[in-house]
């Protein structure tokens, strides 16, 4: 750590010696200087006392040392980023008072804190100085202060900051310059409240990282007190601007009037925890929390007001709060579907005319979606043609694309190996009917005729399934009671062909006994007869609606956004910002809580986008809870173990990544394993550097409390599961941290940033099936209508105009990289650069990620990889690490930032 020259040996001068400038080391009077004390300025710094000596062995004629009693003049530069509508932009009396304070240099009070206590008094050593505004340029405001640091002050360990303005400020960093060994930097990245709102001063620590046991004496109390502040006391309603992290269940998705939804979290509906807001409880049912226009998140998790960080949040906020209500005002008939496929095409060629938006700023926030001819004209919602549609307008119609997307599409997490035959449900047959699947050996062998038998296919690991039967079947009767939607229990089977592609074999749709009718089940297969062909297409639409719901609710929301929020809360509550693991994880948590709060407001809430546009309707989040209960476990969130669990890979120490893929041409798995290994190597070097002795893991009170709280508080409903990894060795920590980093970066990127490219043309991935299959108890009239106009039946099954355009709008925003996106391994966090070893390890990560970019390009150009190369096929780039702004279908950000 850079620090003033302070030394504790007997000599009056320090050990480190400095070559003197020429006037001291040549000339006939050289001998008269030897052993004498003098004073001079070095590089225009403050005067220093020296004693001249001669060292023939080092060929230095004269050297000097700094007097331990000598003070050093240090300049502190504070960088503040102005906010939109806040600090430095507001008007009124308080603004004028703050301007006067800037003028007289009373803007910010800084108090430097020595890392060591005073040996005589045992008290903290503190130096104070006010900062005055010195410049404002390039979106940053600089404040300068001057300190006289005594020689015996010691290493700077922290700084107290008091904001003398009447409004909060966003503090980017503080740099102290003037020490002989170079500047000392505090990377803040935090909001600092006004002292008029809260008299408690903010403390920031230098960029040097410490394990708890290595904390300098004067910083121990500050370290502990800062964590106490961040934890709060679990009481009261959280207010805007607070920095308190705490846990609560999902009890605010609806209200106690007509939108009641079950509380998610607890014995009945297990679920991860979200951030506690402490809002008042509903009057009719105290188990629910009232909803409000704004959901609290800790202040440093918000990013909508900092100019250079507004894009993602402002775009999503604008889409949800302005654009979608405007759509609803135009598309008044919420049940109106598309009458022709050409009507769908017009969304991309002509768009939807909207009334003028109430706030012009929303237009600038959505440049891809909103177009105007002139300032006074109406606004047009005009969708860009998705890349997949640009390459092949009939891509959504092809069976080979249907199966290819299970490996290289939006939801590559669900396909698994069939290991038992015949297929059989685990549900209670007395409630749901006979458990045996209608997919028989005869049906499958007819489809794979010429390849092998079913027994041979299972033995050779050639049969695969995506199975939503048991998860969805208990909800069929409930969901069918809702208006405008239907549901089946479903499963789809695939065969791995010799060329490495998947051949779709069958889709089974099942209705349980209901409405005095027995269980109904039917199997649909690819067919060469027109009626069979259209029934197969309709069955695909139903299955894809189920897959779209599972993707959004489980693969995307539950397994990334939702399960990560407890990691963020525990990290801020239990790991000091000085802790090396905090600093490793911090970039992977940026902005996630803000996005999650927006989701609770308008995406996953009662009557939100998910409920109104996806098949499960009001039971969407409840099904997400079922998936958490049945499927989610932390150790399987690691990519290699997830692949092994699904039977699409086996452990193989001789394989490049320690696993051998059963489906060799599996784009998501192949690219994901490259990324997983790069992340794990980086995390391994980082963890082993700070924990060279395994005993340091068990003696680290903060890291043990962190892991305990994640298990017992953040994921409290699974706290007693035996599969939670232990945390006893550096290797344990490496596996845990790598898993968290993978979930927030690679996993999320794979299921998020391709959403518009694959689902922007919604017939490829409809989010809802509104009508039942024509073969399920049809009337004569229904069957004739299907035979006469099967295309109309498919269009009636697809989402309505309002549902489709709402989902397309949200998917466009979610798939969009902001101009200030922070990609995995692209830029180094400032604290990492403080340690040469960590800096070198990061540079190695950056180099490896650039190599991975090239490897993925080579794979996409290789004709032997039929699942990522071919006529009209969109290359698989979702796990390419870097990207430009926009809807690019590639790029892996550090965090779940949209």
DSSP for 447-509, written as a single string: HTTTT--HHHHHHTT-EEEEE-HHHHGGGHHHHHTSTT----EEEEEEEE-TTSPEEEEEEEE
Do 676 and 848 meet the contact criterion of CB atoms below 8 Å apart? no
- CA of residue 774 relative to chain centroid, distance: 42
pLDDT of 308 higher than 60? no
- The pLDDT, as a whole number, for residue 306 is 45
Map out the domains of the chain with their CATH numbers. Answer: 71-206 (2.60.60.20), 414-552+763-799 (3.10.450.60)
Q: 357 falls in which pLDDT band (50, 70, 90)?
A: low
- The pLDDT, as a whole number, for residue 364 is 67
Mean pLDDT, the chain, integer = 89
pTM listed for this prediction: 0.91
pLDDT of 866 higher than 80? yes
Do 593 and 568 meet the contact criterion of CB atoms below 8 Å apart? yes
Model pLDDT for residues 757-804, shown as the tens digit of each residue: 999 999 999 999 999 999 999 999 999 999 999 999 999 999 999 999
Model pLDDT for residues 375-418, shown as the tens digit of each residue: 556 788 889 999 999 999 999 999 999 999 999 999 999 999 99
Tell me the two tokens of residue 769: 């099936």
pLDDT of 444 higher than 90? yes
Q: Give the integer Cα–Cα distance in Å for 235 and 245.
A: 12
Q: Give the integer Cα–Cα distance in Å for 567 and 578.
A: 17
Where is pLDDT greater, at 540 or 322?
Answer: 540
Give the CA angle between residues 828, 832, 838 to the nearest 5°: 105
Closest CA to 454 of 440, 435, 437: 440
Across 132-136, 195-199, 559-563, which has the greatest mean pLDDT?
559-563
Do 371 and 378 meet the contact criterion of CB atoms below 8 Å apart? no
Model pLDDT for residues 241-252, shown as the tens digit of each residue: 999 999 999 999
CB within 8 Å of 511: residues ≥ 6 apart: 476, 488, 489, 517, 519, 520, 521, 776
Do 853 and 208 meet the contact criterion of CB atoms below 8 Å apart? no
pLDDT of 5 higher than 80? no
Active site residues: 556, 561, 748, 752, 898
- The pLDDT, as a whole number, for residue 44 is 45
Model pLDDT for residues 608-658, shown as the tens digit of each residue: 999 999 999 999 999 999 999 999 999 999 999 999 999 999 999 999 899
pLDDT of 104 higher than 70? no
pLDDT of 63 higher than 70? no
**Buried b or exposed e, range 465-486, using 16+ CB within 10 angstroms:** bbbbbbbbbbbbeebeeeeebb
Q: 102 falls in which pLDDT band (50, 70, 90)?
A: low
Average pLDDT for residues 22-47, to the nearest whole number? 45
Q: Give the integer Cα–Cα distance in Å for 490 and 469.
A: 5
Across 85-89, 93-97, 209-213, 598-602, which has the greatest mean pLDDT?
209-213
Place of tokens 């980086």: 682
- The pLDDT, as a whole number, for residue 309 is 42
3-state helix vs strand vs coil in the chain, percent to 5: 40, 15, 45
Closest CA to 82 of 306, 250, 298, 282: 306
Q: 363 falls in which pLDDT band (50, 70, 90)?
A: low
Average pLDDT for residues 66-80, to the nearest whole number? 82
């Amino acid at each position: 750590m850079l620090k003033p020259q302070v030394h504790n040996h007997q000599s009056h001068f320090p050990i480190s010696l400095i070559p003197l400038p020429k006037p001291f080391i040549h000339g006939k009077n050289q001998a008269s200087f030897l052993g004498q004390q003098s004073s001079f300025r070095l590089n225009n710094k403050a005067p220093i006392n020296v004693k001249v000596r001669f060292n023939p062995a080092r060929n230095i004629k004269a050297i000097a040392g700094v007097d331990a009693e000598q003070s050093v003049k240090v300049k502190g530069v504070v960088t503040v980023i102005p906010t939109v509508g806040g600090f430095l932009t507001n008007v009124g009396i308080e603004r004028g008072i703050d301007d006067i304070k800037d003028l007289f240099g009373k803007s910010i009070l800084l108090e430097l804190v020595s890392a060591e206590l005073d040996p005589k008094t045992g008290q903290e050593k503190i130096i104070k100085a006010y900062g005055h505004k010195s410049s404002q340029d390039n979106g940053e405001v600089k404040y300068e202060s001057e300190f006289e640091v005594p020689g015996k002050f010691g290493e700077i360990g922290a700084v107290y900051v008091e904001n003398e303005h009447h409004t909060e400020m966003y503090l980017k960093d503080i740099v102290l310059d003037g020490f002989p060994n170079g500047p000392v930097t505090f990377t803040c990245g935090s909001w600092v409240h006004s002292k008029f709102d809260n008299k408690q001063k903010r403390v920031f620590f230098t960029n040097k990282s410490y394990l708890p046991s290595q904390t300098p004496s004067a910083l121990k109390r500050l370290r502990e007190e800062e964590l106490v502040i961040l934890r709060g006391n679990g009481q009261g309603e959280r207010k805007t601007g607070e920095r308190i992290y705490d846990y609560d269940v999902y009890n605010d998705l609806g209200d106690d009037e007509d939108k009641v939804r079950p509380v998610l979290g607890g014995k009945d509906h297990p679920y991860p925890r979200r951030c506690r807001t402490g809002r008042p409880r509903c009057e009719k049912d105290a188990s629910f929390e009232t909803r409000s226009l704004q959901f609290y998140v800790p202040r440093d998790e918000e990013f909508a007001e900092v100019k250079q960080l507004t894009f993602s949040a402002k775009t999503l906020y604008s889409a949800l709060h302005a654009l979608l209500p405007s759509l609803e005002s135009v598309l008044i008939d919420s049940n109106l579907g598309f009458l022709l496929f050409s009507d769908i095409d017009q969304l991309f060629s002509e768009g939807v005319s909207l009334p003028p938006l109430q706030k012009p700023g929303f237009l600038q926030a959505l440049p891809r979606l909103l177009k105007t001819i002139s300032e006074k004209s109406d606004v047009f919602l005009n969708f860009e043609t998705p890349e997949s549609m640009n390459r092949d307008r009939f891509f959504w119609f092809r069976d080979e694309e249907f199966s290819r997307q299970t490996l290289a599409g939006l939801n590559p997490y669900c396909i698994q190996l069939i290991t038992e035959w015949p297929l059989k449900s685990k549900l209670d047959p007395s409630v749901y009917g006979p458990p045996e699947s209608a997919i028989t050996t005869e049906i499958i062998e007819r489809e794979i005729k010429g390849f092998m038998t079913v027994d041979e296919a299972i033995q050779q690991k050639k049969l695969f399934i995506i199975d939503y039967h048991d998860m969805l079947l208990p909800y069929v009767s409930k969901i069918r009671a809702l208006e405008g939607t239907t549901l089946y229990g479903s499963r789809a089977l695939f065969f791995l062909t010799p060329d490495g592609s998947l051949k779709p074999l069958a889709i089974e749709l099942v209705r349980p006994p209901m409405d005095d009718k027995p269980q109904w089940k039917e199997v649909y297969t690819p067919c060469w007869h027109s009626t069979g062909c259209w029934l197969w297409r309709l069955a695909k639409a139903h299955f894809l609606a189920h897959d779209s719901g599972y993707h959004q609710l489980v693969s995307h929301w539950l397994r990334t956004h939702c399960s990560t929020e407890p990691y963020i809360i525990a990290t801020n509550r239990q790991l000091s910002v000085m802790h090396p693991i905090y600093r490793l994880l911090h970039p992977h948590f940026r902005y996630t809580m803000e996005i999650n709060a927006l989701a609770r407001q308008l995406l996953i809430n009662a009557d939100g986008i998910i409920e109104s546009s996806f098949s499960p309707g009001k039971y969407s989040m409840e099904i997400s809870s079922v998936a958490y209960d049945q499927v989610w476990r932390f150790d399987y969130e690691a990519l290699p173990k997830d692949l092994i669990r699904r039977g699409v890979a086996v452990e193989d120490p001789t394989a490049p990544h320690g696993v051998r893929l059963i489906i060799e041409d599996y784009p998501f798995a192949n690219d994901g394993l490259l990324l997983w290994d790069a992340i794990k190597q980086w995390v391994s070097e980082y963890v082993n550097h700070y924990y060279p002795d395994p005993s340091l893991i068990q003696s680290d009170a903060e890291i043990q409390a962190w892991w305990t709280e994640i298990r017992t508080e953040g994921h409290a409903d699974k706290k007693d599961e035996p599969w939670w990894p232990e945390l006893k060795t550096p290797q344990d920590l490496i596996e845990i941290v790598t898993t968290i980093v993978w979930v927030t970066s690679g996993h999320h990127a794979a299921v998020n940033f391709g959403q518009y490219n694959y689902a922007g043309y919604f017939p490829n991935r409809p989010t809802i099936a509104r009508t039942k299959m024509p073969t399920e108890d049809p009337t004569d009239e229904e069957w004739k209508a299907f035979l006469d106009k099967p295309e109309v039946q498919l269009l009636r099954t697809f989402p309505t105009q309002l549902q489709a355009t709402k989902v397309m709008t949200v998917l466009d925003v979610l798939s969009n990289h902001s101009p200030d996106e922070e990609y995995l391994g692209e830029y180094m966090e400032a604290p990492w650069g403080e340690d040469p070893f960590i800096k070198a390890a990061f540079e190695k990560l950056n180099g490896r990620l650039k190599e991975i970019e090239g490897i993925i390009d080579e794979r996409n150009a290789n004709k032997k990889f039929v699942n990522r190369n071919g006529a009209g096929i969109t290359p698989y780039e979702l796990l390419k690490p870097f990207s430009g702004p926009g809807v690019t279908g590639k790029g892996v950000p550090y965090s779940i930032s949209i």
